[in-house]
Each structure stands twice: as structure tokens, then as C-alpha cells.
Amino acid sequence: MAVVKLFGAWFSPYAYRVIWALKLKGIPYEYIEEDLRNKSPLLLQYNPIHKKVPVLVHDGKPICESTVILQYIDEIWPQNPLLPADPYDRAATLFWIKFADDKGYLMSKLYQTDGEEQQAAVKEWLEMLEVMEEHALIGGKKFFGGEEINMVDMAFSFVAYWLGVIEDVVGLEIFEPHKFPLVSLWIQNFKSIPVIKENLPDADKMFALLKHGREMMLASKSD
Amino acid sequence: MAGELVLLDFWPSPFGMRSRIALAEKGIPYEYREEDLRNKSDLLLQMNPVHKKIPVLIHNGKPVCESVIQVQYIDEVWHDKAPLIPSDPYQRAVARFWVDFVDKKIYDLGSKIWKTKGEEQANAKKEFIECLKLLEGELGDKTYFGGESLGYVDVALVPFYTWFYAYEKCGDFSIEAECPKMIAWVKRCMQKESVAKSLPEQEKVYEFVLQLKKLFGIE
């Protein structure tokens, strides 16, 4: 039986994408928690270029970058597909995955800054949410994947869950549900899916971690 | 299957070049339309409302945006001619990883080289060379990243060669001196008609960069 290992970090939305994909497809795996301040030699060996999580190791062969990992998983285990079969639909789906991936930096930009820099981050968040509302969820779809979630839903998970924790940490409300009704509905639907609901990092623990990180950052700035 | 193909593009764009090479490799006829990026066409704004950027590949009236996605789409639709993406899932993952690496690093670092000076430029040059060396490591002794024929990584990376002369002039360094294997690979790619006819001359790109520097008031 082939062995699947996943190197992740408990708070990483990128690691969770892989967890959801593996669980949706019913693939057994061994999870290895990495302390990102003290990376294991094994992680550095499997991902020498970026030294990041998640890393999937299948039959001893490492695959890095969550979007690359998810495409690999979808190809090896085609049940409960994460991408459409039609080339055009797949291209459209990959477009939104890239869009979401390219906006991931907005998480740290929001909680690791203050003043003007943070204001700029808020503006970028709102612009992204507007694009999601106007262009991504067209046709009144329940999920980006239609009736079932797909890789795009997973890619936007940072909006559905992680943003809320960051808002609490910085004390700002960026996502006002009445301004983004389609995205708001999507968030509720997404978080009610069992595999998602049962596999999310503890919000209080994450709050504590990010709050601490923010306080350290602000303290070092005032030095 | 062929239908109507239009590529909205801008001649010095390394991203547009990727799609040009992919289409040429497979011998697929298409209409090339040059966009004036200071005066974008209604078609471009309609076909890429989210980013308003080129290249946009329009197939039977439907847009495919993002060059990396276009190359994959072209490879899937015209899969019987000159395959670019490996058929083995693990090799595909490796190829996608390196295309992602090129996308994350090369363009931004290259831009910093021609846009900045002093310490910022020095750091960008250093990191740029380090990235090219990592790519040389991945290439190894292979003719192309794709093995015996052009592959996904080759198509994604080789267009940036057209900007190397501009980087070298602006950054006052020699890429070939630091990364001879990379330049040897480029030369092998340039012997392919699909690559040679899809890429503009380095001198022309350098002239374009000089114009941009003037426009942005960069020394």
C-alpha cells in the first residue's frame, strides 16, 4: 500500500487545503506537524527550495506548493474530483485558484502592519472581495465548484475562516456581510460542509498566536 | 477543434511569448493582435475584466487568461501534437513546481534589476543569479527541461532570455559568466523555429526598457 505523508503547520490554510483534499477522497495519510521556527531536517530535504509547508510525500517522492499538490492528488485519486474535466472549465477554474493564491499575502499584510501600510492592506482586501463578489460567484452557484466544493473553494478558504481571526486580532471589520452578499452566503455554505467544519484550526489558539506575533512586531517597531 | 483563435498580446511581454511558443510548437494557426497597453481595446477589457492584462487567448470567443494556464490549455486541447506537459503525474508535479518557481521569482527580480539602483539592485542581481543556478540544477544534463523536447518549464522560462540583455546593461553584469549552462540551454531553444520566431530581439527589448525608464523617471 502506498504511503502518503503530509508535512504541515496547524494554522496554515495551505496545509488545510491538502488535508481537505485527502479526506474528501478518502486517502489515508500520516500527518507530521512542523514547527516553522525550527524546521526538521526532513522538511528541508523534501523542500530545499522554499523550505515551506505543506509538502506531500507519496511513495517517498516529495511534492511542494499546495496548488501543485492538489492537482497531483486529483490526478492520482480521481474520485470526488477537485477540478473539472473539460479543458476550458479547468482553465477557468485554474484562473480563480491563481487569483486566490496571488492574494494570500494579504493575510500577513493585514496583521503585521499598522498605520498607512495597514490602510493600504485594507483597501486591497476590499478590492479583492469586490472582485469575488462581482466576477467569481456568477450564476448563483452554491460553491465555486457548483453543487460541490472544488479547488477554488479551498483556495478561498482564507477568506471564509482565517480573515475572521485576523480581523479580531487587528480590531477591524473588513468583511461586512451586507456589502458582499454572495461571498457571505458562500462562506456560510463552505463552513457547513462536514470535512471543512471538522478540520479547521482552533480559532482561540490562532488568535493567541497571531496576537502575540502582532504585539512582537509593534514592539520592535517602537524600539 | 481548431476553431477561431486570437491572442491579445504585447510584443515585449515574456508572458505573451509563452503562448506564442506553445502555439508555434504545435503548428496551430492563430490571429495575433497587438495591444497598446496605454489604450487597451474594448475586447481586452471585456475578455479579462478582472486583471485587464495580456496575454489573453480567445478560443471560439471564450477567453483563457494567465499565460501558464494558456499553455496548459493549449497542451490539453491540441494534445496530439508536440506535448509540452509530461504524462506522468509526478513529472507533471515537478514541472508545475518549477513553472511556479519561475513565476514567483524571475519576473520580479528582473524588474528590480532594471528599475532600481544601489543596494536594492545588488540584492536583486544576487538573488536573480541564485535562482538561475537553481534552475540550472534542475536542468542538469538534459537537453531541455522537458528532456529531449521542449517542455512546460522551457516554454515558461525561455521568454525571459529576451530581457537578459536589458538586465545586464542596467545591472552591469554578465549572466552568461555566472550561468553558462543556462545560456547554453537558451541557445539550444533558440535553434527551434517555434522559439526563434516567437521571441523579439534582445536589443529591441532593451530599447523598450530605456523608454520605460524615461517614462517612469528612472535613472
Q: How confident is the model at residue A141 (pLDDT cuts 50, 70, 90)?
A: confident
Q: Does residue A1 register a pLDDT over 80?
A: no
CA pair distance A58, B46, nearest whole angstrom:
42
Residue B191 amino acid letter: Q
d(CA A90, CA A185) in angstroms, rounded, equals: 24
Which residues contact residue A201 at a Cβ distance below 8 angstroms, ignoring those fewer than 6 apart?
A10, A11, A16
> Model confidence over B79-96: pLDDT tens digits?
999 999 999 999 999 999
- The CB-side HSE value for A30 (13 A sphere, CA atoms) comes to 9
Task: For cell 542596467, name the residue.
Answer: B170
Mean pLDDT of B177-194: 98
Q: What is the mean pLDDT of chain B?
A: 96
Q: Which residues of A make CB contacts under 8 Å with B?
A: 49, 58, 61, 63-65, 67-69, 71-72, 75-76, 87-88, 90-92, 94-95, 98-99, 131, 135
Answer whether B180 touches A (CB < 8 Å). no
Distance separating alpha carbons of residues A149 and A143, to the nearest angstrom = 6
Q: Where are the domains of chain A?
A: 4-76, 87-222
Average pLDDT rounded to a whole number, residues A195-223? 92
Q: Per-residue confidence at A223, pLDDT binned at 50, 70, 90? A: low
**Does the CB of B48 have a partner CB in chain A at under 8 Å?**
no
Q: What 3-state class would DSSP assign to B181?
A: helix
d(CA B11, CA B40): 14
B60 pLDDT tier (thresholds 50, 70, 90): very high
Could B92 and A72 be called an inter-chain contact, meaning their C-beta atoms sit closer than 8 Å?
yes
**Rounded (10°) CA dihedral A79, A85, A90, A93:** -40
In whole angstroms, how far apart are CA A166 and each of A1, A40, A152, A161? 41, 28, 21, 9
Closest residue in B to A93 (Cα–Cα): B69
B139-174 pLDDT tens trace: 999 999 999 999 999 999 999 999 999 999 999 999
| Class of domain A4-76 as given by CATH | alpha beta
Residue B113: closest CA among B171, B41, B176, B54: B171
Is the pLDDT score of B38 beyond 70? yes
pTM: 0.95
Within 10 angstroms of residue B218's Cβ, the number of other Cβ atoms is 14
Residue in chain A nearest B77 by alpha carbon:
A87
Q: Check residue B218 and give its pLDDT.
A: 86
- A87-222 has which fold? Glutathione S-transferase Yfyf (Class Pi); Chain A, domain 2 (1.20.1050)
- Residue A218 burial (CB count, 10 A): 12
Cα separation, B99 vs B130, in Å, equals 16
Comparing CB atoms, the residue among B50, B70, B100 nearest residue A99 is B50
- In angstroms and rounded to an integer, the radius of gyration of the C-alpha atoms of chain A is 18
- Asked if the model's pLDDT at residue B2 lies above 60, the reply is no
- Cis ω before B89 (30° cut-off from 0): no
Residues in chain A closer than 8 A to B64 (CB atoms): 88, 91-92, 95
CA angle A155, A109, A71 (to 5 degrees): 20
pLDDT at B158: 98
pLDDT tens-digit series, residues A68-112: 999 999 999 999 999 999 999 999 999 999 999 999 999 999 999
What integer pLDDT is reported at residue A2 of this predicted model?
A: 61
Length of chain A measured in residues: 223
Chain A residues touching residue B132 (CB < 8 angstroms) = none
pLDDT at B122 over 80: yes
